[in-house]
């Protein structure tokens, strides 16, 4: 079975830059994407979420989308920042699944700075045919360094009030392992050890999608993957993905993709044939 990365990850890089200042007073700034600002030199005071944070050389400031923040520095400094958006399974914000603290103290700031400068060089060469691929790989390297430094999955630096999604962390893996079964809101709430009504409200607030809509989306993603294997019948795929019968699966598939599963499979097979017909003999 073929797995396509773009079916699981949606990534957008908007800007890569650095700047040097003598003093800095940024008040009530808010941007529509995540901003990760590495302090290569200097120290700042950050005001956000009604709290005050401090960051200095070797730290990364994390600014979430559409949340106002202020940054103040009375001495010279240099910041290196990237603006990006990253979601998994189409709609779930990656940073809701792996919440980062407002300030991350990097384990290896020199390595981070080296990778950032390489990313900036790649980003500024728009004529490079491999620019997008190189930029993506370097951004994920920076994200890895931040997540590792923040101790996600270990002893996290994340504040307790930022860890609400911890209640939900086991829900999505549970859904993926049980797509064939009859998943209900009540069952998923039990996995999270929460009241069903509160679970639904918290899930949608954290991930921007209701639990059952995510179940439906993951079932369809699984079905798309299975349709690539011609040995699987439509009936088998319907059952394995939790649709119970082929007729219901057909209706749901057609409602979303405006074609039947059989039509999708035939289009996929035709595309593969055209591709191989264009490959020269060796």
> Rounded to the nearest 10 degrees, what angle do helices 211-227 and 196-207 cross at?
60
How distant, in Å, are the alpha carbons of 54, 90, 251, 263 from that of 7? 38, 7, 21, 20
Distance of CA 125 to the CA centre of its chain: 26
- 């101790």: which residue's tokens? 151
Higher pLDDT, 280 or 42: 42
Phi-psi label, residue 235: left if phi above 0, alpha if psi -120 to 50, beta otherwise:
alpha
Give pLDDT tens digits for 95-117. 777 788 899 998 888 999 999 99
- Top CATH class of 164-272 equals mainly alpha
Q: 224 falls in which pLDDT band (50, 70, 90)?
A: confident
CATH 2.60.120.280 maps onto the chain at 5-162
- Top CATH class of 5-162 equals mainly beta
CATH 1.10.10.60 maps onto the chain at 164-272
Say whether pTM exceeds 0.85: no
Measuring CA to CA, which residue among 51, 14, 13, 44 is closest to residue 26? 44
User: Residues 208-233: what's their mean pLDDT?
Assistant: 87
Contact 225, 218 (CB under 8 A): no
Q: Which two tokens stand for residue 198?
A: 């509160």
Lowest mean pLDDT among 139-143, 202-206, 232-236: 202-206
Residue 90 has pLDDT above 70, yes or no: no
Residue 3 is predicted with a pLDDT of: 38
Mean pLDDT of the chain: 84
Residue 158 is predicted with a pLDDT of: 42
């Amino acid at each position: 079975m073929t797995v396509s990365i773009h079916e699981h990850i949606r990534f957008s890089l908007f800007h890569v830059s650095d700047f040097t200042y003598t003093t800095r007073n940024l008040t009530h700034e808010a941007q529509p994407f995540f901003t990760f600002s590495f302090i290569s030199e200097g120290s700042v005071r950050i005001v956000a979420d009604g709290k005050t944070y401090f960051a200095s050389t070797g730290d990364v400031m994390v600014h979430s989308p559409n949340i106002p923040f202020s940054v103040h520095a009375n001495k010279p400094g240099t910041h290196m920042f990237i603006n990006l958006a990253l979601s998994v399974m189409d709609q779930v914000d990656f940073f809701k699944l792996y919440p980062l603290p407002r300030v991350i103290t990097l384990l290896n700031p020199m390595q981070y700075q080296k990778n950032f400068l390489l990313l900036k060089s790649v980003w500024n060469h728009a004529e490079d045919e491999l620019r997008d691929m190189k930029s993506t790989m370097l951004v994920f390297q920076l994200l890895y360094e931040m997540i590792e430094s923040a101790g996600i999955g270990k002893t996290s630096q994340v504040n307790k009030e930022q860890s609400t999604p911890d209640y939900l962390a086991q829900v999505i893996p549970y859904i993926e392992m049980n797509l064939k079964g009859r998943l209900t809101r009540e069952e998923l709430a039990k996995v999270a050890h929460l009241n069903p009504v509160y679970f639904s409200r918290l899930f949608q607030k954290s991930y921007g999608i209701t639990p059952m809509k995510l179940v439906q989306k993951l079932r369809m993603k699984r079905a798309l993957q299975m349709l690539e294997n011609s040995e699987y019948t439509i009936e088998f795929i319907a059952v394995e993905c939790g649709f119970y019968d082929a007729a219901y699966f057909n209706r749901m598939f057609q409602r979303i993709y405006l074609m039947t599963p059989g039509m999708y499979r035939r289009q996929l097979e035709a595309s593969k044939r055209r591709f191989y017909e264009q490959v020269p003999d060796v």
